[in-house]
Amino acid sequence: MSSTSRTIASFIAVPAWLALSFPLMFLAYFASAFIPRLLGNFLFFWPQYLFSFRYVVAPVAGGFEPLFSPAIAPVACAFYWLAVSLGYGMLARNWPALRSLLVGFAAVVAATAILHAGFAAFGYGVQLDGP
């Protein structure tokens, strides 16, 4: 495998896993009668944990205080995942393509866990929205 294809695979691994998270929400919604409830909840809410910077809130008296304004939230989300994608791509650029793609999933999970642990350290969490 050429060096170019390994590099391309390393830089598209994280965005590919992020893009694959959207169909999971629909899968959970339409297949809810056929899959365990816990798995369905995970599949449905996973994209919200990845992308819902708008709903990162801290409880205050009488409601919630958002961390990001509605205009800044998508920019912060895009910047975060762009930084993760570029960092992962630089780290994995010499790995075989299959390894880059498979470890990319672990990188997305780890980046999400680290992000939400950081939010929680400051008293913030995601206010989930679902059926």
Question: For the segment 92-102, what is each residue's pLDDT rounded down to a tens digit?
Answer: 998 998 999 99
Contact 5, 97 (CB under 8 A): yes
- Residue 92, number of CB atoms within 10 A of its CB: 23
Q: Is the pTM of this model over 0.85?
A: yes
Dump pLDDT digits (tens) for 46-92.
888 899 898 899 988 888 899 999 999 999 999 999 999 999 999 99
> Is the per-residue pLDDT at 30 higher than 80?
yes
4: enclosing H helix or E strand: helix 3-30
pLDDT number for residue 1: 56
| Per-residue pLDDT, 130 | 67
Q: Which of 129, 118, 121, 25 is nearest to 76 (CA)?
A: 118
**Tokens in use for 119?**
């939010």
Q: Is 71 helix (H, G, I), strand (E, B) or coil?
A: coil
